[in-house]
Amino acid sequence: MKDTYRHQGMRKKLAEIVEQKGVSDKRVLNAIKKIPRHLFMDSSFEEHAYQDKAFPIGASQTISQPFTVAFQSELLEVKKGSKILEIGTGSGYQTAVLLELGAQVYTIERQKELFKKTNLFLPKLGYKPKQMIFGDGYKGLVSQAPFDGIIVTAGAPFVPKPLMAQLKVGGRLVIPVGDDVQVMTLYTRKSPKEFEKFEYGEFRFVPMLEDKN
């Protein structure tokens, strides 16, 4: 599959829609304009790639809605060189947005098929996370902690304690919390023992699954 002027035009419109829905961070909007989202999906769904919708990517998972990706990225306040942990690599689209923002990205996926596919695909587009990990995001990534930011891209029934623990003081955790419907929640770490919590309305994600082993 190729990236053409037509795709670029559609992305520009998509970025405008995302902006109209309330995302104002220009760096995030530029990432949406730049990343060829259609290449992150099966070629037969190409026509759907630049609608502001989630879409199936196999293994019962979805590529998140562009507005959601942009909204979470804005809340994370990524700076150049920020060390970011992403839970739920999926198609790698959110990972690409974080890399466009200049983050050093560590990303975890628990679905073997998706992990393998995205692990091969992202570098082909020139997107190179620091580490792509096949594993359970509930545990975070202790070997690389602490992080400036942690972003969870699956619906978490509760806030995993290890993720709170692996945040730097001053760091931000963006996590959709809930079972059927999730409330987008931001935790900022004020001190080793203090967190501040903010809530940003309802979203729908595929569930964050716990590994039983």
Nearest to ligand SAH of 95, 104 (CB atom): 95
3-state secondary structure 13-30: HHHHHHHHCCCCCHHHHH
Rounded to 5°, the CA angle 104-52-8 comes to: 70
Closer Cβ to ligand SAH, 104 or 182, answer by number:
182
Q: Is 164 helix (H, G, I), strand (E, B) or coil?
A: helix
CA–CA dist 130, 150 (Å, integer) = 14
Q: Is 150 in the site for ligand SAH (CB under 6 A)?
A: no
Q: Which residue from 7, 29, 31, 61 is in contact with ligand SAH, where contact means CB under 6 A?
A: 61
Nearest alpha carbon to residue 67 among 208, 206, 203, 207 = 203
The CB-of-87 to ligand SAH minimum distance in angstroms stands at 5
Q: How many chain residues touch ligand SAH (CB under 6 A)?
A: 24
- 64 noted as active-site residue: yes
Query: In the bound complex, what is the minimum distance in angstroms from residue 124's beta carbon to ligand SAH?
Result: 16
Q: Which helix (H) or strand (E) holds 197?
A: strand 195-203
Contact footprint for ligand SAH (CB under 6 A): 61-64, 69, 87-88, 90-91, 93-94, 108-111, 114, 136-138, 153-154, 206, 208-209
